[in-house]
Structures are given as structure tokens and as C-alpha cells.
Amino acid sequence: MTGDVFVVIGAGQAGIQVCNSLRNSGFCGQLILVGDEDILPYQRPPLSKSFLLGDVDEQRLFFRPQSHFDKQSIEPLLGTKVIAIDRSAKRVRLEGGRTLNYTKLALTTGTRVRELDCEGAANNAQVHYIRSLNDSIALRNKLAEVERVAIIGGGFVGLEVAAVTRKLGKAVTVYEAEDRLMGRVVSPMLSEFYSDLHRENDVSLCLGERIDKVEVSNNTVQIYTNKQQSLDCDIIVAGIGAIANDEIALEAGLKCDRGIIVDNRCLTSDPNIVAAGDCTVHFNQFAGKTVRLESVQNAVDQAKIAASTMLGGESVYDQVPWFWSDQYDAKLQIAGINTDYDKYLTAGRVGDTRFSIFYFKDDRLIGADSINDPSCHMAVRKIMSTKSVSVSQIQENLSDLKSFAKQ
């Protein structure tokens, strides 16, 4: 494979993992990493948490220094936008007219923020989003100047920003269109726990309220909702979801459905193109359905499989999904799937500083949420990856799940 050229489009978590996995597996051909930002690949999760708060500096965000790319002979093309993929010619066209020929291609294009579509939100300097490092820097600088913050969206990003903003001493109001927080990712019990947690930290929660209009006058933002309520604030931070960057794949004729469709080897509908990370859609054996997962775990694990596939390997993606969120002093760790369950079991009292909730379907463990309980989280991940267990088995082994996971 010395004469091969592998191109990776997307310089995020999945992109750099594909490159590292290729080199670690002995690939010695030309390896090009294309990224539309003009800086080296960096971690995104801290952007709404520790970096925004000021606990982590910018240099600690970067996965690897330039010397790593030099040593591994990875060619980063930064600040470069991909215009099109010519599958028949196996060529990528870049903005400005340059082209790259490839032997194998990896798409790790990630996602972009879903923007507010209400009246007055478009091109509004008082409306902030968090996706890039520049977004987080701009918001951090702004938070130093303002006192009243409205957050649109009660998901992970919105609530993480709410927690940081309260720690900075700002007045915070959260608007969520659904009737509970994090409704798509946690159970009603966890939603209630987080509602109580944020209210205890003096966050005003407006549930079941959709933003209809935003107006700015004398640097004051006025928000109007479907319940005909209004609020004056200084800035808005919107965290209402993400959209898969699958346009170039779709235009190239690859199969897509709100993301790039891949099989369990991370192969697209083109045998010479793989995809990994937030931009992909796959059938997940633990969920029992087709999903698009936005997580570091999925990005890393799919990227490893994608690299293997590029090298002709037969490895398949079969990892237990896991996610996390840091809000105040509560670390939430999710293993598996916590929706569509028909029975649950708790360890500890929901609402205490430490507890876990186990979810079952048809008497089989399908997932668990843990608050400040990392040992339980790790045990559940191990259990789910090696065996199928029932409600009674978890009940019998609650006192020592770590040992049960090793059996």
C-alpha cells in the first residue's frame, strides 16, 4: 500500500482517529486529513463545559501538536473546504480548484448546529451557538460582559451551558419546547432530577415553551414564546440539536438518511468510501434500530473500524454506546440505551448525590444511567458487551456489579 493515497475529510475526533489507526496498523502510503477550520484537530466536549468556564486553556484542547502529524506523516490541509466527490474518478475537488486523487476515502464530516428559525434570530449578533472553538471563545468573552442569559434548548449542550453560566453568577432562563428536560436522551426520572438540580441552582425553567420571536433594542434582547410570555435578556445561547454534514456524500450519490448510511464495517454504499462519527447513520444492535449517535465513543470506535475497513479488514462495530454530561457537581454517565424500556431498577435513591437506574426490555438489560457512580457505569458497559442479563440477575448482584461483570 506504499503507493496508495488515503484521504480523510473532516478533522475532528473521528478524523484524527482514522488517521492514527491507519498509521498504527502499518499503513505507509500518503495520508491526507482535510479540515475546514484553520487549526489542528481539537476536542469539542469541553467547549460547553470546562473551557467555557475557564478551567481548561486552549492548548489543552488540541488532540496532538504539529510534531505528531510530522512524525506520523499525516498531511493536514487546514482551512480547506471540500466542494465535491467524483466517485468514478476517485477524486475530491477542493475550494479554489485543487483536486485530490484517492485510493480510499473516509468521511468524518461531523455535524453543524441547528439554528433558530424564529423571527429575528437569523444573523443576530446576540444569538450564540457552540460548535467550534471560535464559538466558545466568543461566548466566553461575552459572558464576562453580560448578566442575563437565555438558553434555548434543554438538552446536554443547553444545560451544560446553563450550569457554567450559573457558576459565573449570571441570571439564567432555560426554554425547552418539550415538557421535560433532555427528553430525547434520558428517562422521565432523570428529567425530573435535572429539573430539580437546575432549580436548586436558581435557573428558571420554561418547559413546553417554543420561541416565536426575538427582538433587539438598545442591546437588550426580548424573547416572545408561544405561551405569549416575554423575557428581557442580554444574550441568547441556542442548543437545539445538530444536523449531519452529509451534503457532499448525498451529492456524490451515496445513500443518506439524515446522515451517511454505513454498515457494521463503516462502509458506505461505495466500496471505496467509509464514514465514521456524528455524520453517520447505522443499525445499532443495542438499540435494535437505525440511529445516529453523537458521542466521542461512537466517533472513536467507528473510526477504528473505518480504518480497518480501508485496509481490507473485516472488523465490525459492535460497541455498547455510552455518553456523559457534566452539570454542576453531577456527572451523568449513560451506558446502552435508556428508551423503549418496560421495566427499571434503581440502585440508591433517585435524587441523592449518587445513584444509578437500570433499564430493561423483555427482561433484558438494555442500559443504565449513573449519577456520580463511575464504577457502576463501567460495570454495566462490561456486562452489556459480554452477556445478556435479566432483572433478577442485576438485583442479585447489585452489591458487587464489578465482580459480576468479570464472571
pLDDT score at 360: 95
Query: Based on the domain organization, do 55 and 93 belong to the same domain?
Result: yes
Query: Based on the domain organization, do 249 and 220 belong to the same domain?
Result: no
Last residue of a domain, one of 310, 338, 366: 310
- Cα(377)–Cα(325) distance, rounded to whole angstroms? 13
Query: Based on the domain organization, do 131 and 232 belong to the same domain?
Result: yes
- Cα(107)–Cα(121) distance, rounded to whole angstroms? 31
Last residue of a domain, one of 238, 259, 290: 238
Tell me the pTM: 0.95
Burial category of 308 from C-beta neighbours within 10 Å (exposed 0-12, middle 13-18, buried 19 and up): buried
Low-confidence ranges of the chain (pLDDT < 50): none
Query: Based on the domain organization, do 230 and 135 belong to the same domain?
Result: yes
Find the helix or strand (DSSP H, E) in which 113 lies. Answer: strand 111-113
pLDDT score at 311: 97
Residue 102 located in a structural domain: yes
355: domain range? 329-406
Residue 225 located in a structural domain: yes
- Cα(396)–Cα(400) distance, rounded to whole angstroms? 9
Find the helix or strand (DSSP H, E) in which 66 lies. Answer: helix 66-71
Query: Based on the domain organization, do 272 and 229 belong to the same domain?
Result: no
Residue 78 located in a structural domain: yes
Residues 292-345 have pLDDT tens digits of: 999 999 999 999 999 999 999 999 999 999 999 999 999 999 999 888 899 999
Last residue of a domain, one of 195, 211, 238: 238
- The number of folded domains in the chain is 3
Residues 78-102 have pLDDT tens digits of: 999 999 999 999 999 999 999 999 9
Residue 284 located in a structural domain: yes
Query: Based on the domain organization, do 135 and 200 belong to the same domain?
Result: yes
Residue 252 located in a structural domain: yes
- Cα(74)–Cα(64) distance, rounded to whole angstroms? 12
- Which residue has 437565555 as its cell numbers? 150
Residue 264 located in a structural domain: yes
Query: Based on the domain organization, do 335 and 392 belong to the same domain?
Result: yes
Query: Based on the domain organization, do 247 and 234 belong to the same domain?
Result: no
Residue 22 located in a structural domain: yes
pLDDT score at 1: 65
Query: Based on the domain organization, do 296 and 365 belong to the same domain?
Result: no
- Cα(174)–Cα(159) distance, rounded to whole angstroms? 8
Q: What share of the chain is helix, strand, coil (3-state, %, to 5)?
A: 30, 30, 40
Residue 353 located in a structural domain: yes
> The domain that contains 380 carries what CATH number?
3.30.390.30
Query: Based on the domain organization, do 232 and 251 belong to the same domain?
Result: no
Alpha carbon dihedral 248, 135, 276, 70, in 10-degree steps, equals: 100
Query: Based on the domain organization, do 233 and 255 belong to the same domain?
Result: no
Query: Based on the domain organization, do 292 and 339 belong to the same domain?
Result: no
H helices of 207-253, in order, are: 247-251
> The domain that contains 266 carries what CATH number?
3.50.50.60
Amino acid identity of residue 400, one-letter, is D
